[in-house]
Each structure stands twice: as structure tokens, then as C-alpha cells.
Chain A
Amino acid sequence: MISILRRLHNDQLSGLMLLAVGVFAAWQNLGYPLGTLQEPGPGYTPLLLAIFMAVMGLLIAVRGRTSPTLSDTPWPEAKRAVVIMIACAVAIYALEPIGYRITIGALLIFFLGVVERRHPLTVATVAVGFSMGTYYLLAVLLRVPLPRGSWGI
């Protein structure tokens, strides 16, 4: 499976992905009334768009042989990108239960201390300074409601 993927060209893969999205949208759209031409229903425009996307995806895939193959495309930053995504996902999950200041402080400690391996004192200063400073600026001065968590911090 992986060897087939590696031999695929970039545009072939992305075209097939778009085709899949179009087909999925069309399938989901079956649940909504299409209406008539005189009075189009809620499913009318999404169906047109799903067909449009599927056709575009197919054309991109068909013409995709001239693009570089997946194995030729370097992804040196992919591992770091996945780590960043996972860390952000955990932070988003924790944002409301434990509040803005702790979540953002912990996220910065993770990025600067664990991922970037900076000096602990610098990490602590940036994490505390940023989370407290932005909270004061946004929540206190600009009155933007930020989550305070179940402990009210």
C-alpha cells in the first residue's frame, strides 16, 4: 500500500482526494431535498458543488502524471508539524476545563522547553509572562471573555 502511495504523483493523489470529497458530499447530500428547478431545495446547490468538485478532482488526477511523485516531494518538517498539531489539540481540549492561563502557559512550556529545548528560566519567563500578559491585555483591558476553567483561574 505504502509503495503504491509513494509511486503516486502529487496531483494524482490530491485529485483523488478531491474526487473522494466530492463523492462523499454528494452521498451526504442525499438526505436533503433537491426541490425543483422553480423552487430549488437545500440540497440543490450542494449537489452542484459536489459534482463540480468531483469533476475538478478527476481532471487534476488525470492530468497529474506531469507533477512530481510523492517520494520526490521532501517532507522534512512533517514530524515537527505532527507534534505541533497534537500539542495544539491537547491544549484546545483543555482550554475550557482548566482555563486560558494554565493551558497557554503549559503549551508554551511544552513548545519552548520540550520541543525547542530552551533554557528553563527563559521558558518559565516567556510562558508565565505571555499567558498572564495576554490575559491582562485581552480579558481585563479589552474585555474579551476568555475561559477561566473550573477553578476560576
Chain B
Amino acid sequence: MLGFQVALDPKILVYAFAGCLIGTLVGMLPGLGPLAGISLLLPATFGLNPIIAMVLLGGVYYGAMYGGSTTSILMRIPGEAASVMTCIDGYAMTQRGRAGAALAISAIGSFVAGTLGVVGLMLLAPTLAAFALRFGPPEYTALLVMGFFILAYMSGGSMLKTLAMAGFGLMLGMIGIDAMSGYTRFSFNVLALADGVGIVPVAVGLFGVSEILLVAGQGGGPEIKRPKLRELMPSREELRLSVGPIARGSFIGFMIGIIPGSAHIISSFVSYGIERRISKHPERFGQGAIEGVAGPESANNAAATGAFVPMMALGIPTGPVTAVMLAAVMVHGISPGPMLIQQQPELFWGFVASMYIGNTVLLILNLPMVGLFVNLLRIPYSYLYPCILCFCIVGVYSVSNSVVDVWIMLVMGGIGYVLRKLGYDLAPVALGLVLAPMLELSLRQSLAMSAGDYMIFLQRPIALTMLILGVVLLLLGLKPLLTKGKDWRASLDVIKE
């Protein structure tokens, strides 16, 4: 009730609506994902109270998840990475004249998954926070190591490349003053680098600028079909076929969302693969199967909510988006972690309640107004990308009024462009950068606690369990490399897509 008291405040409602609207628009624009949207809005939240800041940024996050599906279904262009799987069957449905039904199922699935995800967050986060009070440095180290192994195992590409990218991100996180000794590392005499490399310039560079470099100059986009309002109603058969995928997608997405990594992307891949595998007619997938829209869309929205569990309960961001949101809270002097729910109940419950409201707002926004939003996509990309680039520059600059940050963004954009051309997934870089200080601190504290004995990680049951799980997944991931066997993702027919 405390949460709804907070969230139903008219001011909060306005910000929740604004966040959802901005998020939907941001999700629809190629090159501007949830991260770029949140990064651009971050400086504007400094003057707001922390609850409003979280509600606004949260609205942008799950709004972008919804918005990304519209371009996937209508144009076969994923507005953001998690919508890649929706392109396959969503666009095929559009070609068969069922765009309206695909958009409706996508919105309904996202609403159901988002709402179930919030229930999960409400039940799980306080429990996890209470459990996390038993965590010491060795447990945090093991948790982070396990997260990287899970990320490597679950990611769609090569395990070696994913681990290498995570290592690159961790290495970037070493730049700046060492918190324990005061040494300045890898700053190359650039004073601004002593503060370290921020997540915003790196993420905007890797995801926003590199996308523009890849797409700019490739000619006009595909024809956009504008669905009519009366076409939005799915048939009874389509509704019946969507129930199972939405339920499974919600569960899978939420569980994957809790794990550090690019969870919403992975969850939509896994959901699509599972739906295709258990379908009695797998040949329909790729030809406009409604299950291929319902499952991944539900999964990526549930994952977006699941990502808030470790963020709220442990103070651990599961990805760059939650990292930026944590930064927004920390600016207001609030320390995220297991004590957050006890010390700032109105922040936690207000945020949770605002997510219920946000999901309802998004359902209202996405169905009747889809025709209106589609007009945005009619702006030629040759006009859009220069404006997006300018937004990237001003957004990064305004985070800490530093031109060095904008240079970092540009360099990371170039690096991201080359790495994407060479087949690397960039999400582990951002995640590594975010988790680097926490991993280093907990590792060094663990070694100090045990007088330099690495056995401390095996002597503590929680840490040992997490490490065993991580190593098992690592070995499972390495199996195809050693035996030239099939990768588990290939068995789900996901990699080929």
C-alpha cells in the first residue's frame, strides 16, 4: 500500500507517463536503445527527487522494450537488440496482413510479462536482500564470477569472444584511481581519466554511435505498413496459441533477467528457441507463427523487470541500463544494497507500484496509438542519424560536463563498429566495466581476509555453490569446442536465425 500511496501521487504519475512515452519513442528509433535513452535523460534527473528519477528512468527502460517491437514487426528493424527475434515471425505476420494482431499480442504479452515480473520482483527482492546480508566479499566475488560464466554460456555467439569482451570491459574498469591504494592506473597523464571511465560514454559509444556507423549511408529503409485500428484484434486461435508462450516467456525471462548479462537479449533468444522446439508445427516458425512473437516479447519484458531484483536487493547491476539507474540513485546519496529496502521503503515500494502503473500506461499507449508512433519511422534516416549523433554528444557531455567523456564515446564508437564487423557481442564490455570495481574490491578483500589463501572461496558454502555452478556451465560451454559437438543453442535452432 505504501508503494501505491507514493506511485499514485499525480506528480509521479506524470513522470511515469513521460518515461513510458519517451521510452516507447526511443525503443522505436534504430540506434537509440533503452541505454542511450536513459543516459540522455540522466543529467535531467539530478534535480529531481530519487523516487521520481527512478520512476522516470524505469518508464524509459520498459517503454523502450515495448517500443522496440513495433519497428521489428512493421519494418523488420529491431528498435533495440532484444527485439531481434520478434523480427522473424512478426514481420512475416505483417507480410500476411496480420500486423495488427502481431502488435496486439506483442503488447498484451509484454503487459502480462511485465506485470508478472513486478509480482516476482515484489516477492523475490526483499527475500534476496535478507539472504544477501549473509554475503561477504568471497560470496560477492563468486557471484560476479558466476555471472560472467553464465553470460558466456548463454550468449548467442562464441564463448571465447564473450569472455574476451568481458575481460576487455573489466580492463577498462581498471582505469583511474585504485580505491584501496590511491594509485592512479592507466590514465596516461590525462587528468580526467583519473576518475575512471564512465559507463555512459562507453555504452553510448558502443551501442549508439557504432550502430549509426554501421547503418548510416545504407540507403532508405523498407516500406512501412501502417496498421488500422480494427486490425488490432487477434483471432481466437491466435489468442489461444499465445497463452502458453506468454506464460513460458514470462517465467524464462524473469529468471534470466536476474542473472548479470544482457538478459533481455538472451531471454528472447532462449524463448524463441524453446517455443520452436516444443511446437507441434515448428515449420510455421519463420512464416508468421504468433508464438514466435508472443514468447520472445514476453521474455524480454519479464527480463527487464527481473533485472531490477539484484539491483534493488544486492546493489548489483545486471547490465549497463541498471548500472546507469543505480548511478541516478547514488547521485542522491542513497547507497544501493541489501539495506536499501529497509532504509528507503518508499523508494523501493514506490518504484514497484509505479511499474504496475507503467505497464498499464504502456498497454494504453501501444495499442491505440501505434499508428501515430509509426509516423516517426517515416522520417528518413538521413535526417535521423545526425540528430541522434548530436543527442549522443550532448547526452554524454552533460553527465559530468566533460569533453573527455565525449572523446571516450567517439573512440568506443569506433572500437564498437570494428568489433561488431568482426562478430563480437558488445554487451559483456559494458557489463565488465560496470562490475570491475566491485569484482576487484571483493577479490582483494577476500584475499586479505584469508591471508592470501584462495581456498577461502571453497570453504564458504554459498561461494562454493556459485563457483561450482559457474564452472559446470563453463565446461558445458567448452564441450563443443573440445568435442566438436553441437552447441545447445544449435539444438534450439536459434543460432541459424
Contacts and interface: CB of A to CB of B under 8 A. Distances in A.
Question: What 5 A-B pairs have minimum CB-CB distances, sorted nearest first?
Answer: A37-B452, A80-B217, A111-B386, A56-B164, A42-B183
Contact of A107 (B167, B386, B423, B440): B386
Given A49-B170, A89-B410, A96-B403, A44 B186 contact: no
A45 B174 contact: yes
Contacts of A145: 398, 401
A56 B393 CA distance: 33
Nearest to A47: B174
A77 B171 contact: no
Contacts of A56: 160, 163-164, 167
B397 interface: yes
B346 interface: no
A124 interface: no
A21 B215 CA distance: 28
Contacts of A53: 164, 167-168, 171
A100 B393 CA distance: 10
Interface in B382-437: 382-383, 385-387, 389-391, 393-394, 397-398, 401, 403, 406-407, 410, 413-414, 417, 419, 421-424
A134 B451 CA distance: 56
Contacts of B170: 49
Interface string A67-101: 10000010111001100110011011001100010
A53 B387 CA distance: 36
Contacts of B417: 81
B181 interface: yes
A134 B161 CA distance: 39
Sorting the interface of chain B by its residue count into under 10, 10 to 19, 20 to 34 or 35 or more gives 35 or more
Contacts of B422: 10-11, 13-14, 73
Contacts of B174: 45-46, 49
B390 A134 contact: yes
A46 B171 contact: yes
Contacts of A100: 394
Contacts of B43: 142, 144
B474 to A, nearest CB: 13
A126 B180 CA distance: 50
A63 B468 CA distance: 27
Main secondary structure of the interface of B (DSSP, over half): helix
A57 B163 CA distance: 10
Interface of B: 43-44, 47, 158, 160-161, 163-164, 167-168, 170-171, 174, 178, 180-181, 183, 185-186, 209, 212-218, 382-383, 385-387, 389-391, 393-394, 397-398, 401, 403, 406-407, 410, 413-414, 417, 419, 421-424, 439-440, 443-444, 447-448, 451-453, 481
Contact of B160 (A44, A60, A77, A107): A60
Interface residues of A, number: 66
A95 B390 CA distance: 11
Contacts of A140: none
A118 B403 contact: no
26 contacts: A29-B185, A33-B183, A37-B452, A38-B448, A44-B444, A46-B171, A49-B174, A60-B164, A63-B160, A73-B421, A77-B213, A77-B216, A77-B218, A80-B216, A85-B213, A92-B410, A95-B397, A96-B403, A104-B394, A107-B389, A116-B382, A118-B382, A134-B394, A142-B44, A143-B47, A146-B398
B394 A92 contact: no
A40 B168 contact: no
Nearest to A135: B394
Contacts of B382: 112, 116, 118
Given A42-B178, A92-B393, A14 B424 contact: yes
A112 B168 contact: no
Contacts of B158: 60
